[in-house]
Every structure is written in C-alpha cells, then in structure tokens.
Structure 1
Amino acid sequence: MLEFTAATRRDEMIEALCKILAIESVKSAPQGNMPYGKGVFDALIKMLGIAEKLDFDSVNFYSHLGYVEYGDGDDLFGIVTHLDVVPAGDGWTVPPFAGTVRNGRIYGRGAIDDKGPAIAALFALSAIKENCISLNKRVRIIFGCDEESGWSDMDFYKKNGGEIPGMAISPDAEFPIINAEKGLLQLRAVRKAYPVTQEKGGLVVEALHAGERVNVVPAVCSCKIRGNAEVVRRMLDIFNEDSAVKITAEEKDGALLLTAHGLSAHGSKPEEGKNALSYMLSFLNMLPLQKNAVSDAVYELARYVGLQTDGTNLGIASHDESGALSLNLGYFKTTEEGVEAGIDIRYPIHTEKTPVLSAIRGKIKELSIEEVFSRPPHYVPEDSPLVAGLKRAYEEVTGEKAYCMTMGGATYARAFPNSVAFGALFPGQQGTEHQADEYIEIDSLVKTADIIANAILVLCK
C-alpha cells in the first residue's frame, strides 16, 4: 500500500508539464538525427532533461524514443507513454502550445494525450526512488515519439534490440483498466485527376479541404464551388434548416466559398463529434455537380459514408461484447494530382480486418482504397496477474471498485503482448483528447501519479 503521495510535489509536476506542453511536438519532416522533426525531438530532449534533474539516467534511443529506468532484477515492467501530439486544429480559447493553468486545470495540446500522464508516470517512479524502495523488477518508462502517426518508433525499438517488458501499462486512456482494444484500420481513398469536358449549367467543385489527421474528427471543412451561385444558396437554405452543422457561403473571385463548422473529437469516438467534412459532403451530394475527380469522390463518399459512423452503408457494421465498429472520415484534400481522403476504422475484437477491407473495396468503385496502417485487436485476460495487480493498486488509492473495459482507441498497450491501458481519465470525466482546449485536471494528474506508483509497488516490490 502506498505510504506517500505525489501531492507534495504538485507544483513541481505542474511546472514540468507546462514546459513540455509549450513545445509543438507535431510530427514533421525528418531533419538529420530528428526522425520525426524538430518539434518532437525538442519534446523528447526536454523530457529526458526533466528526468535527469530527478536523478535518473536517461537513454535517448536514436531519437526515435527515450526511456528512464529504476529497479533491479531480470524482469522488466514497462510504462509506455508518448510525447508527440496531433495538430492543434481550430476552436481554441487558450494558446494550444503554452501550458495554461486555469481553474484547477492545465490546458494545452497533449495535456491528457499523453504528456500529462507521461509526467505523472515519471514523478511516480521518482517518488519510489526518492523513498529508497527496493524493487524486484526493473521499471522502464518509455517516452514514444510517433504514436499519433504510425508507431514507427515502436517498430524501430523492437528491431534494434529494445527489451520487451514482461508486463506493461500505457496511461493513455481511462481508469480503471482497458484490457481489450478494438482492431484498427486506417485507409487512404484516392482518385486521380483527369481531363474534364466543360458542361453548361453545372456546378464545379474546384477545391475541397478538411482535417489533417485521419484519427481526428474534422471540425472545419471548406469548399470552393463555381457556377450558378443562386442555385447553391437556395439549396443551402434548405440544407441548413435541419442540419446540426451549418454551412456558410461567401462570394469571392466569381466563386462561392462554403465553410462548415462542426465539432472535433477523437477518431475512435466519431459519434462524439460533428464531422464538418461529412456534413459538407451531404450538402454537395444534393447539387448537380459537373463530373471531375472531386465530384466522383463527393458522390461516392456521401453515398457510402455520409453522416454514418458505424459503416452500415458500406456493409461493415458489426458488434460484439467489445462494442460496435466505428468509422471516421478524417480528412479530405484536393491537389493538382487529384483527390485524397482518409478513413479511420475501429472494429470489434471478434471481427477480422480482411472481410472489412474487401467489403469497402466492393462498394467504393470510383476511388482506389489503400491500406495505410493497421493493428489487430488486443486482449489481456481479466484473470491475469497483471490485471489483478492493477485492480488492487487502483482500489487501494481510490477506494473505488476496479473493473475492465474495452475501447476503440489504439494505445501503446498494443505494442507488447502482456500490456493494458491504465488511466489517465477517471470515470465520469470528459475526454478532451484531440479536441480544442484539451486539458488535464491537476488533481487527476496527482492522483494518476499515486495510482501508478502504487501499481509499481504491487507488481514490482
């Protein structure tokens, strides 16, 4: 049982987290020894510097990730976090990359996903070290750098001799325990540009843009359309009467600029957002568009995806004890080469990827469907020593009953066989990951550190 608390280091934790949040660690083009760009590299170096000030020997694993370690023994217990974040997006009322402390919360992109939990884990291990507690396992906190964009850091770690923990947790989800994660399938839908014969009276979509990441519900979508503006405005009035997302129109350079403002959410929970792209497609589907690569994509995606988040029209809807399949249309962009859209799918643990992919390709004919990234479902039995220990650790600190859950999100728990997601959102709390004004409650930051510290004691002392 834990006999100390991270509350005594509350101010120190806040200061450390704000320093990390001030770094815009969005993946960018590689530069020299910075495989994920300067922002992610700077966050890694800053975190390792904070760890060294806490008297840890840190390891920079070829700038793909870093880690610190404490304890003795042949067995390794892993705590897997990440420092990269998704782009800020729109709708913020505070600076996304500053670390703003207000009303008991710390705001910033990555506050809950996953810089805050990373700081909590670091201070949890520091408290154990500071109290000179002997451990019979080595505890390694891993600071990943490519969780939001493909997990190449974990692949690099495994291929280059990184030790695989016998047990691991990833504080990148919810308490009490996520012991099952749905399968993940991310797709790219492409339509190449082709010569178009001009038709009289039709409407031409010249550009359509929304979103930046496939695993984020896009909050804004813009469209440039040319033709009979009066027709568009009349249809827009009809559409806006009953639509949960309104679309505005502005004339510029002889064209209409349409803008839809929705609500962002994590791509694994698309039903919690309002997908501005999906609403724009639904509107454009009402119009007589001249045929080009954009209109082909618009009509196809509106027909088979539209406002649905469960894949019914694609013939891929499924459900089991782990929940229902979810689908997010994450981005859409037009270039001189053509059109590209991103689709993020989370499928139940008893569903297989191949039939899902085949069904989509069987429906969508106008676009080429390419698999970009996938992960199979992940499951650790509830009666395993790892889960039993985590239940005890959670209950001793919170006084509340621990239980297991399933999620659609993909955490680094999948990176290792005997690993589960453990924190950092508490039951009843609102998840703001991938949303504007993302935050972590300071009390939750401290409590998360205490729970992780107790988990280390239960499983490694």
Structure 2
Amino acid sequence: MLEFSLAPRKDEMIEALCKILSIESVKSAPQGNMPYGKGVFDALIKTLNIAEKLDFDSVNFYSHLGYVEYGDGDEIFGIVTHLDVVPAGDGWTVPPFAGTVKDGRIYGRGAIDDKGPAIAALFALSAVKENCISLNKRVRIIFGCDEESGWSDMDFYKKNGGEIPAMAISPDAEFPIINAEKGLLQLRAVKKTYSAEGEGLTVESLQAGERVNVVPAVCTCKITGNIKAVRQMIELFNEDSPVKITDREEEGGLVLTAHGVSAHGSKPEEGKNALSFMILFLNTLPLRKNAVSDAIYELAEYIGMQTDGTHLGIAARDESGALSLNLGYFRTTEEGVEAGIDIRYPIHTDKEKVLSAIRSRMKELSIEEVFSRPPHFVPEDSPLVAGLKQAYEEVTGEKAYCMTMGGATYARAFPNSVAFGALFPGQQGTEHQADEYIEIDSLLKTADIIANAILVLCK
C-alpha cells in the first residue's frame, strides 16, 4: 500500500509538464540524428533532461526513443509512454503549444495524450526512488517518439537490442484497466488525375484533415461553374445540417468551407466530421466527371456519414465492441486524389475479410493498406491485471474492472501489457481535440496510482 503521495510535488510536476507541452513535437522530416524531426527530438531531450534533474541516468536510444530505469532484477516492468503528438488543428481558445494552466487544468496538445501521463509516470518512479524502496524488477519508463505515425520507434527498439518487458502498462487511455484493444487498420484510397469529362460543376480541389486517426474539423473545397445554383443548394443544405457550409468567391469560383468538431479517430461518433459533411453536400450536385468527383461519389455511397462500415459490408460487433470507421483526410494534388480511412475492428474480426469487402465495393478508388496492428488481449486473471486492480483500488477506493477500447496504445507493442490510465471514469477525453487538457488533480492521482502499481508488482 502506498504510504506517500505526489501531492507535495504538484508545482514541480506542473512546471515539468508545461516545459514539454511548449514544444511542438509533431513528426516532421528527419534531420541528421533526429529521425522524427526537430520538434520530437527537442521534446525527447527536454524530458530526459528533466529525468536527469530527478537523479535518473537517462538513455537516448539513438533518438528513436529514450528511457530511464530504477530497481534491480532480471525482469523489466515497463511503463510505455510517448512524446510525439498530432498536429494542433483548429478551434483552440488557448495556445496549443504553450502549457496553459487555468481553472485546475493544464492545456496543450499532448496534455492527456501522452505527455501528461509520461510526466506522472516519471514523478511516480522518482517518488519510489526518493523513498529508497527496494524493487525486485527494473522499472523502465520508455518515452516513445512515433506513436501517432506508425510505431517505427518500437520496431527500432526491438530490432536493436531493446529489452522486452516481462510485463508493462501504457498510461495512454483510461482507468481502471483496458486489457483488450481492437484491431487497427489504416488505408489509403487513391486515384490518378485524368482530364475532366462531360458537363456540370467542377470540383477543382478538396482538402481536409492531416492525420487519418483524427476526425477532421475543417474541410475546404473549390468549385467552379454555376455559382448561383451552388449557393442556392448551400442554403438548402444548411437548413437541416448540424455542420454548416460557408462560401466566398475566388478567381471565378467558390471556396466552400465546413467547420465540424474534431475527435479521436477511434471514436468518430464523438466528433462532427467536416469532410463527411462536405462530401454529403457535394454528392447532391451535378459534378463534372474527374478524379475528385469519382472519389466524392464513391465515398458518399460507401461511407457517407456512417462510422460503423455498414455500407462497406464490414460492420461487426463482439464482446469487445463494434467496428468503427473514420474518414480522416482528403487531399488533391496534380497527381490525383488521396483519402485516409482509419478502421478499428473487434478482436474476433478477420482483417483480410475487412479488406476484401472494401475492395469488392470500391471500384473507382484503389485501396492500399498503410498500417495495421492485430487485436491485443491480456486475460483478466493474469498476475499483471490482478496487481493493477489492487493498485487502483487501494488509491481510489473504487472497484477496478477491465474494458475494451478501439484506440491503439503502446500496450500492444509487448505481449503481457495493458493500457492503464490516465482518464478516470466519467471524465471527458480531449485527446486529438482542440483545447486538449489534463486535470491537475488527475495528474497527481495518476502518479499515485502508478507509484502504487510499481510497489504492488515490483516490491
């Protein structure tokens, strides 16, 4: 049982978190020894510097990730976090990369996903070390750098001699315990440009979203032709649509903009997909045939406003929940069009059958698999889960239970690993959304729970 609290270190933890929240650690082009770009590298170095000031020996693992460690023994108990973040996006009322403290919260991109939990874990281990508690395992906190864009950091770690934890947690989801994660499948739908054919309105460009695992909050489209008729259709559309379309004239055409609400791609139903609403509108117009219109009509027919894949023939559900689908981005270039589709499928669903069903329906767009992860499951009666239940209940006084999620955390990077925190039951998740934040009280309580988990599983 935990005999200390992280509460006295509140100001120290807030200061540390704000320092790394102020770094725009969005993956960018590699530079020298910075495989994920300067922003991610700076966040890694800053975090390792904070760890060293807490009297840890830090390891920079070839700038793909870093880690700190405390304890003794042959086995490792891993706490796997990440410092990279998705782009800020639109709709913020505070600076996304400043670390703004107000009303009992710390705001910033990465506050809950996953810089806040990373700081909580670091200070939890620091408190264990400060209290001179002997451990029979080495507790290793891993600071990943490519969680949002492909997990190449974990692949690099495994291929280059990184030790595999005997058990691990990833504080990148919700409490109490997530012991099952759905399968992850990310697709690219593409079509090459060709000369426009026939009559009608011409969609010159359509742009929305930056990451496939984020519900796009803004979509813009340039359309030429009968401007008056388009504006009349916009008025009709806006009468009943929860997402409105605005327009402005530009170079002989109209630029249309839809403003929705962002959300995590694993929970598309919690957002309002600006891209889907724009496609729904454009689908009502007589469009001149080109690569863009082909994509619009096909996406409208087989995805539309659905987030469960029914029209694609891939809807599925089991004890782990239902399949979810997010239309994450759309972009037009001189070469053609490209759209991104993020799918989270139940643990008993076959990925190849999902792919086959999509390809059998979509004929205009070529479907390419970009990234995938199989479902992940750890039995509820395992020593890891039993220990985490005890640790959670002792700190919170509330009953611990297991859940399934559609999100993909680093828990699935290692066999005996589960997601553990950092959102508490009933709290709103703001990951991948504007004004992302973590409650200060939750930051401290998460640190206490992780510290207690270390004691339960490693003392």
Q: Aligned residue for 1:379?
A: 377
1:97-176 equivalences in 2 (<5 Å): 97-176=97-176
Q: Aligned residue for 2:210?
A: 212
1:39-78 equivalences in 2 (<5 Å): 39-78=39-78
SS state at 1:127 partner: helix
Q: Aligned residue for 1:79?
A: 79
| Distance in 2 of aligned mates of 1:255 and 1:196 | 16
SS state at 1:40 partner: helix
Q: Aligned residue for 1:362?
A: 360
Q: Aligned residue for 1:392?
A: 390
- Are 2:31 and 1:24 equivalent residues in the alignment? no
| Distance in 1 of aligned mates of 2:223 and 2:195 | 18
Q: Aligned residue for 1:186?
A: 186
| Distance in 2 of aligned mates of 1:235 and 1:342 | 27
Q: Aligned residue for 1:276?
A: 274
| Distance in 1 of aligned mates of 2:205 and 2:265 | 24
Shift of residue 237 of structure 1? 1.4
| Distance in 2 of aligned mates of 1:162 and 1:369 | 34
| Distance in 1 of aligned mates of 2:155 and 2:361 | 33
- Are 2:249 and 1:251 equivalent residues in the alignment? yes
Q: Aligned residue for 2:438?
A: 440
Amino acid at match of 2:29: A
Q: TM-score, normalised by structure 1?
A: 0.99
| Distance in 2 of aligned mates of 1:232 and 1:268 | 34
| Distance in 2 of aligned mates of 1:244 and 1:345 | 24
| Distance in 1 of aligned mates of 2:240 and 2:91 | 23
Q: How far does the alpha carbon of each residue in 1:246-288 deviate from its partner, in whole angstroms, 9 at most, with x for none?
A: 1111111110010000000000000000000000000000000
Amino acid at match of 1:36: Y
| Distance in 1 of aligned mates of 2:316 and 2:73 | 45
| Distance in 2 of aligned mates of 1:248 and 1:196 | 26
Amino acid at match of 1:65: L
Amino acid at match of 1:257: V
| Distance in 2 of aligned mates of 1:43 and 1:374 | 26
From 289, 292, 299, give the equivalent of 1:291: 289
Shift of residue 195 of structure 1? 2.0
Amino acid at match of 1:437: D
| Distance in 2 of aligned mates of 1:172 and 1:392 | 19
Q: Aligned residue for 2:227?
A: 229
SS state at 1:111 partner: coil
Q: How far does the alpha carbon of each residue in 1:126-171 deviate from its partner, in whole angstroms, 9 at most, with x for none?
A: 0000000000000000000000000000000000000000000000
| Distance in 1 of aligned mates of 2:253 and 2:233 | 16
| Distance in 2 of aligned mates of 1:231 and 1:353 | 44
- Show structure 1 runs of 5+ residues with no match: none
Q: Aligned residue for 2:454?
A: 456
- Are 2:337 and 1:339 equivalent residues in the alignment? yes
| Distance in 2 of aligned mates of 1:75 and 1:96 | 39
* Range moving further from structure 2, 239-248 or 421-430: 239-248
- Are 2:337 and 1:322 equivalent residues in the alignment? no
Amino acid at match of 2:84: D
SS state at 1:112 partner: coil
Shift of residue 244 of structure 1? 1.3
| Distance in 1 of aligned mates of 2:419 and 2:183 | 15
| Distance in 2 of aligned mates of 1:238 and 1:256 | 17
SS state at 1:70 partner: strand
Shift of residue 11 of structure 1? 0.3
| Distance in 2 of aligned mates of 1:382 and 1:370 | 36
Q: Aligned residue for 1:242?
A: 240
Aligned residues: 459
From 420, 427, 430, give the equivalent of 1:422: 420
Q: TM-score, normalised by structure 2?
A: 1.00
Shift of residue 239 of structure 1? 1.2
SS state at 1:164 partner: coil
| Distance in 1 of aligned mates of 2:176 and 2:238 | 42
| Distance in 1 of aligned mates of 2:456 and 2:355 | 42
Q: Aligned residue for 1:312?
A: 310
Shift of residue 208 of structure 1? 0.2
SS state at 1:148 partner: helix
Shift of residue 389 of structure 1? 0.2
SS state at 2:189 partner: strand
Q: How far does the alpha carbon of each residue in 1:300-326 deviate from its partner, in whole angstroms, 9 at most, with x for none?
A: 001000000000000000001110000
Q: How far does the alpha carbon of each residue in 1:189-218 deviate from its partner, in whole angstroms, 9 at most, with x for none?
A: 001001224x44x10000000000000000
SS state at 2:24 partner: coil
| Distance in 2 of aligned mates of 1:245 and 1:306 | 14
- Are 2:404 and 1:406 equivalent residues in the alignment? yes
RMSD between aligned alpha carbons? 0.5
Please identify runs of 4+ aligned residues in structure 1 that moved more than 3 A.
none
Amino acid at match of 2:79: I
Amino acid at match of 1:259: T
- Show structure 2 runs of 5+ residues with no match: none
